[in-house]
Structure 1
Amino acid sequence: MTETPRPTDSHLHDVLQQIANEAQDLFGRGEVANYIPALAEVPARRFGMALAMVDGSSYTVGDAHTPFSLQSITKLFTFVLALKAVGEDLWTRVGREPSGAAFNSMVQLESERGIPRNPFINAGALVVTDILTSRYAHMDLAMLGALRRLTDDPALTWNVRIAKSERDTAHRNMALAYFMKSYGNFHNPPELVLDNYCRQCATEMTCTQLAQATMFLANGGVDLAKGSQPGEHVLSADAARRVNALMLTCGAYDASGDFAYRIGLPIKTGVGGGIVAIAPGRGTISVWSPELDAKGNSVLGAFALERLVQLTGWNHD
């Protein structure tokens, strides 16, 4: 049997349209996140996808220019900020192992004496936010400033209504914070950290912006030049590789192994329905569709990424 040739970059518009057409059949197989009331109001039947290539080209389909709530995808950016701020000392307070448990689970914290398994589960992300709260007088604004530079959008911000809705229902996250504080792994008042954390998670981007904001992870730690501005050295090439490794093993909650098996790219998911994936040396992929599976990952987003690597072979590069 003759193997179907992989598409060249010039055919990526067609690839995205094919994926978008196939994804329509999956609507109704998941549910929009409802434990945060403001997120429950997002229309379910939405799908957008964007590719940003290291050569500066980009491709989009569907609702790729519609802003959505990043939620846990912001954990990637705060993790990078903390890594830059405190370096290897970060690993004295949070681990680098897959959790195998739900993103908001408390089960492992007691047996592991308040040290979260990784920075991408809620407990780990709260510790990262605590580190940044100690580092910056206004941690939420520091993170927003970094994201505005990466997206080249000075108007980028968080959704105040979603942040309040999330803060009003953050009982389990508050319990996680106080539990870790009892073990000495939380330095600031949990209330202050939760305020920062909920604003962080309520940050909104489009698929095109998210693909652009993560370009440094596909490009050896260097962001692409924007107009007359040279590319920013966000991380060293080695640090970018390590971040990608952690995304591959821990980026999709307790479904990370399944995502690694099916897709084979570093990814980070969020309960707002977004997923960002990194194809090192080639580009970034962002997809958004709000209907989630039982583990909190976008149903259509996971399908779209799996089809993309099948059609392009990018996970073999």
Structure 2
Amino acid sequence: MDTGSVLSTIAAEVQPLVGQGAVASYIPPLAAIDPARFGLAVRATDGAEHAVGDATERFSIQSIAKVLSLAVAMDLEGDTLWARVGREPSGTAFNSLVQLEADGGVPRNPMINAGALVVMDAVLAHTGPDATPVLDLVRAATDDATLTVDGAVAEAEIATAHRTRALAHYLKAFGTLRGDPDTVVEAYCRLCALSMSCVELCRAFTFLATGGHAPSGQQVISTRQAKRLNAIMLTCGVYDEAGDFAYRVGLPAKSGVGGGIVAVMPGEFVAATWSPGLGPRGNSVAGTMALELLTTYTGRSVF
């Protein structure tokens, strides 16, 4: 299969959708991004890489980073982590306060904001607020020490994170959050401000397609953890659109309100796409279609 040709075909077919939807206007630096950007990259487990469009331009990966912090937390806490956060699809918005109350202060899964705060709380309990274990994992997974947080995006998120702070303090009130809520929120906002390109995302998530091995061959997580992370991405990774995404794309995936989506075909490849225009549930309009076409044209999905 000529993967490069497939990606070019996909880019041409999704072009009418590029710019549709709305950018994440509640974070000022994201609101300023040109909605006409589109990138798509694929990295096979044998190391072959193909990209089209704006696939080498870095953007704020936002909630995609939740997978990386979860990988660290699972390594640090093991299965005890699941006493404080569930593994079921949410069915409601990623920042819902109502669902958190209905569930007795235990977040439905680690891919919604409340769950990600608990995950970050677990990481900080082992490393302290000044440690960078998630960034260390990203750099190890990509063998790229230049990857870092976009400071402007991080500060804008911290300044506007009122609902996230409400979730954190609500979690603290239930006893689910053990550390200082404001410290956890700041660390979480900085995590979401990680800046990567589609090509770099494919490298960073290669460990989920190879049973835990980074492109360098280094084992960054266990095979067991890789299996479980893929399962959580499949059922919970695209907010409350998991069923429709599984129907259309058929791959474990994680999206972010920066317009990025990363998807994994275990044992075969990682794909990443970026287009800032979001649909009503916070997922990239053009990006979702690009991944749907990728699994359609290649005939490869987990189903």
Asked if TM exceeds 0.5, the reply is: yes
Tell me whether 1:302 sits opposite 2:288 in the alignment: yes
Q: Which residue of the partner structure matches residue 48 of structure 1?
A: 39
Tell me whether 1:251 sits opposite 2:251 in the alignment: no
1:259 CA drift (Å): 0.4
Tell me whether 1:161 sits opposite 2:147 in the alignment: no
Instruction: Return the alpha-carbon distance in structure 1 between the equivalents of residues 106 and 151 of structure 2.
Output: 31
Q: Which residue of the partner structure matches residue 141 of structure 1?
A: 132
| Pairs within 5 Å for 1:130-279 | 130-138=121-129, 141-225=132-216, 231-279=217-265
Instruction: Return the alpha-carbon distance in structure 2 between the equivalents of residues 246 and 145 of structure 1.
Output: 22
1:126 CA drift (Å): 0.5
For the residue of structure 1 that corresponds to 2:27, the secondary structure is coil
Tell me whether 1:35 sits opposite 2:33 in the alignment: no
Instruction: Return the alpha-carbon distance in structure 2 between the equivalents of residues 60 and 28 of structure 1.
Output: 20
How far does the alpha carbon of each residue in 1:122-179 deviate from its partner, in whole angstroms, 9 at most, with x for none?
0000000111111112466221111111122111111111111111110000000111
| Pairs within 5 Å for 1:65-80 | 65-80=56-71
Matched AA of 2:90: S
1:272 CA drift (Å): 0.3
1:239 CA drift (Å): 2.1
1:107 CA drift (Å): 1.2
* Pair 1:288–1:98, CA change in 2 (3 A): same
For the residue of structure 1 that corresponds to 2:87, the secondary structure is coil
Gaps of 5+ in 2: none
What is the TM-score with the length of structure 1 in the denominator? 0.93
How many residues are paired up?
303
**Is contact 1:36–1:169 with CA below 8 Å preserved after alignment?**
yes
1:303 CA drift (Å): 0.4
1:65 CA drift (Å): 0.4
Instruction: Return the alpha-carbon distance in structure 1 between the equivalents of residues 102 and 146 of structure 2.
Output: 43
For the residue of structure 2 that corresponds to 1:315, the secondary structure is coil
Matched AA of 2:53: G
Matched AA of 1:71: Q
For the residue of structure 1 that corresponds to 2:51, the secondary structure is strand
* Pair 1:149–1:26, CA change in 2 (3 A): same
What is the TM-score with the length of structure 2 in the denominator? 0.98
Gaps of 5+ in 1: 1-7, 226-230
**Is contact 2:142–2:215 with CA below 8 Å preserved after alignment?**
no
| Pairs within 5 Å for 1:113-128 | 113-128=104-119
- Superposition CA RMSD, Å: 1.1
How far does the alpha carbon of each residue in 1:236-289 deviate from its partner, in whole angstroms, 9 at most, with x for none?
222211111111000000001110111110000000000000001101000001
For the residue of structure 2 that corresponds to 1:16, the secondary structure is helix
Matched AA of 2:4: H
Percentage identity across paired residues of the two chains: 49
Question: Is the radius of gyration larger for structure 1 or structure 2?
Answer: 1
